[in-house]
Structure 1
Amino acid sequence: MSMSGRTALLAGATSAAGLAAAAALVDAGARVITTGRSAERLKPLADVGARIEVADATSFTDMSALARRIGAVDLVLPLVGGWRGGGGLAGQSDEDLDALLPSFQAVRATSRAFDASIRASDAGRFAMVSSTAVERPLAGGANYTSIKAAGEAWTLAVAQGYAKAARDSDRPLRAASVILRAEGALDPDALARAVIGLWDADATESNGTIRLL
């Protein structure tokens, strides 16, 4: 399915992964909107052709206001991330947990704010970036894997919501919520390919699935 003319929102996209995904989507013909909390850090995204918006991806208020401004959306991908860990179980500090929490908050805020928009699209996609570490949690990464596992659970709940809305309205399922799992450090190019590949299968096949990067 072509991305030409479709709208993609990359929330919290000021990382190398965000830049790679934005560039790939622009090259595929999409209208790309990227957010971050720093106008300066958003400049490279504007350079590859993305529209930039200063907004907090973890804020439901900010994301809801953005949803009203930009209208129709076909893809929402929160990219707030980061890693903290080490020190065994005793080393899983509250400070590290607080630093990791925005990853989950961004999944919550964006999926809620753009729920109606994704369901209104004829091929809407919501995706989150997770890690294969959730399958084999280690004591030294307990904070990190717990946050990712929470994000995955939320993303699967989003998938159920899309399916239920389609059933209740007696319409075909056209929205899909997908988990993208990275093994080890996130490869920006692999993420970019996976994002473009979110439309390789229709929503009935994709909704609620886990894809390895």
Structure 2
Amino acid sequence: MSVTDRTVLLAGATSASGIALTRALVDAGARVVATGRSAERLAPLRAIGARVEVADATSLEAMTELAARLGGVDAVLPLIGGWRGGGGLAGQTDEDFHTLLPAFDAVRATSRAFDTALRASDAGRFAIVSSTAVGRPLAGGATYAAVKAASEAWTRAVAQGFAKAARDAGEPLRAASVVFRAKALDPESLVPQVLALWDVDAAALNDQVITLD
């Protein structure tokens, strides 16, 4: 298996990581669908070779409509992130929480909308980018760590869903759900790990937490 000829959805792809992933995936022969809420910010991704879609990755309705139009998809990576922190526990404001919550909303919306497509693929992959802060949360980053922990829990539930669906159907597991953890996200460390998602059988990959260098 390889990423060549795979259809990969990058949801919320206008960040530096989204651009780096798009370039690497296109160069590897994948079909990239990149979403964002701004046609202007998506233009560089189109120039690289991605199919771009103006769509809100945090909206289940928008992602479900996109899934229906795309049909087969082999991988989904929600890339909405952000950081708010500082001020100790007392400094964790409601504004911080509501600013960071869309990252979790995107994990929920994309995984639900594309669940059927990923299970139908012969090598479906769902992956999120989390943080090492989940393993050692600090008071000044409690909100950030909590949102990332929720995203990880959801992604591991996706993994269990993939395994159960395969078991109930009496079929081999073909879809895998993975968490990437980074201390400070560097696209150069993320890109090779995403490209390698098809180097490992789904049964060995599913429900793994992989720390990026």
TM-score in terms of structure 2 length: 0.98
Tell me, yes or no, if the aligned pair for 1:159 and 1:207 is still in contact at 8 Å.
yes
Q: 1:79-118 to 2 correspondence within 5 Å?
A: 79-118=79-118
Residue 194 of structure 1 is matched in structure 2 by: 193
Q: How many residues align?
A: 212
The aligned counterpart of 1:206 is 205
In the TM superposition, structure 1's runs of 4+ consecutive aligned residues that sit over 3 Å from their partners are none
SS at match of 2:8: strand
Residue pair 1:82, 1:100 contacting (<8 A) in 2 also: yes
Q: CA deviation at 1:193?
A: 1.1
Deviation of the 1:124 alpha carbon: 0.3
Structure 1 equivalent of residue 65 of structure 2: 65
Q: Which runs of 5+ in 2 are unaligned?
A: none
Residues 5-20 of structure 1: pairs in structure 2 closer than 5 A: 5-20=5-20
Work out the CA distance in 2 between the residues paired with 1:200 and 1:182. Answer: 21
Q: TM-score, normalised to structure 1's length?
A: 0.98
| Secondary structure of the corresponding residue to residue 123 of structure 2 | coil
Q: Deviations over 1:40-77 (max 9, x none)?
A: 01111111111100000000000000000111000000
Deviation digits for residues 115-161 of structure 1, max 9, x if unmatched? Answer: 00000000000001000110000000000000000000000000000
Contact 1:21-1:189 within 8 A present in 2 as well = no
Whether the 8 Å contact between 1:6 and 1:31 is mirrored in structure 2 is yes
- Equivalent pair of 2:107/2:128 in contact (CA under 8 Å): yes
For residue 4 of structure 1, report the CA deviation from its aligned partner: 1.6
Once the two structures are superposed, the pairs formed by residues 32-181 of structure 1 within 5 Å of their partners are 32-181=32-181
Please say if residues 128 and 179 of structure 2, whose CA atoms lie closer than 8 Å, have aligned partners that are also in contact: yes
Taking the aligned partners of 2:140 and 2:147, their CA distance within structure 1 comes to 14
Query: SS state of the match for residue 178, structure 1?
Result: strand
Give me the whole-angstrom Cα distance separating, in 2, the residues matched to 1:151 and 1:103.
8
Q: Is the 8 A contact 2:2 2:199 kept in 1?
A: no
Measured on the aligned residues, the alpha-carbon RMSD in Å equals 0.6
CA distance in 1, matches of 2:141, 2:84: 7
**Percent same amino acid among aligned pairs?**
69
Give, in angstroms, the shift of residue 200 of structure 1: 1.8
Residue 208 of structure 1, CA deviation: 0.3
Counterpart CA distance in 1 for 2:177 and 2:99 is 25
Letter matched to residue 126 of structure 1: F
Helix, strand or coil: the match of 1:127? strand
Displacement of 1:86 after TM fit? 0.4
Secondary structure of 2:107's partner? helix
